[in-house]
Amino acid sequence: MKKIGLFITILALVLGNFSAMAQEGLVAVDTLSLPIDYDQNADSLFINGIDTEAVKGKGTTLYINGFSCGSQDVVKRDGKFYITEKVLAEKLGVMLSEDGTLKKVEKEIEKVQISPDKTYAIINCQSGKALTNDENKLFTSDYTNAENQRFKILDSGTEGFYHIRTAKTNRNLDVYNHWTDPGVQIIVWDVGNGDNQKFSFEFTEGGCYITARGRKLPIDKYGEGIVQNAIHGGDSQKWKLVEIN
């Protein structure tokens, strides 16, 4: 009888735990239909090509599909990681269906018709300040319609990717030294045809992500500089294209 009572107690605890997770809207990370790769050289786990050290217990940040999810987004229980349904919807753009599958969240996305004949200001959605260049440096400052705040968006020769060229110096935005790591500076450099000078524009609610080819690291206003960074959903890495002429 004692064994039966113990079994019932354990079962109640387990069912209670499942019920609590359901109420919190938690989804097990390893049940998400996302490609997972393991890099033995880096000794890190990757999901969709993004470093996922937290899954191996090395850190507190989980990167899923290019989005960084902090400890407030990811819950660890019994050695497994769970993500909230809210984060799934807001950061990954997917929602969990009743049958347990993931489906895309349909949103009305603002779009801008990019034209090579136009000149644009690129405005940071967090600060409202304009992308500005001084020689090979990039930063943001109050918009004054100065020449060093004007940019051309030109076909790079690769479908879906563009050169972002300064009107003042006729040079391109460039990921420093072709590096693919988060935190690397975006600079202005002589015109080339490398992937580090080819950028896509992914329009989302309230702005767009501007990302160099081969990376999931959009341009981010970080501190005093402009860098490529893991997607975190903040307005510092969302930009508006404002047509000047």
Bridge-based pairing state of the strands 219-222 and 44-47: unpaired
Of the two residues 70 and 77, the one the predictor is more confident about is 77
Mean of all residue pLDDT scores within the chain: 75
Over residues 202-229, the mean pLDDT reads 89
DSSP line for 18-32: HHHHHHHTEEEGGGS
Q: How far is CA 227 from CA 139, 169, 170, 176, 184, in A?
A: 10, 20, 21, 9, 5
What's the pLDDT score for residue 29?
Answer: 65
- Where does the pLDDT of residue 47 fall: very low under 50, low under 70, confident under 90, or very high at 90 and above? very low
Could you give the percent of the chain with pLDDT greater than 70? Answer: 62
Q: Is pLDDT above 80 for 93? A: no
Query: Which amino acid, residue 53?
Result: E
What's the pLDDT score for residue 167?
Answer: 93
Q: The tokens of 65 are what?
A: 């599909």
What's the pLDDT score for residue 38?
Answer: 35
pLDDT tens per residue, range 153-192: 999 999 889 999 999 999 999 999 999 888 999 999 999 9
Query: Are 46 and 35 contacting, i.e. CB atoms less than 8 angstroms apart?
Result: no
What's the pLDDT score for residue 51?
Answer: 42
Query: Are 225 and 184 contacting, i.e. CB atoms less than 8 angstroms apart?
Result: no
- Where does the pLDDT of residue 223 fall: very low under 50, low under 70, confident under 90, or very high at 90 and above? confident
Q: How far is CA 77 from CA 27, 29, 36, 129, 212, in A?
A: 12, 11, 20, 42, 36
pLDDT tens per residue, range 151-162: 999 999 998 899
Q: Is pLDDT above 80 for 94? A: no
C-alpha to C-alpha distance for 116 and 167, rounded to whole angstroms: 12
Q: Is pLDDT above 50 for 113? A: yes
| Domains of the chain listed by start with CATH number | 2-104 (no CATH), 120-243 (2.80.10.50)
Q: Is pLDDT above 60 for 8? A: no
Q: Is pLDDT above 60 for 22? A: no
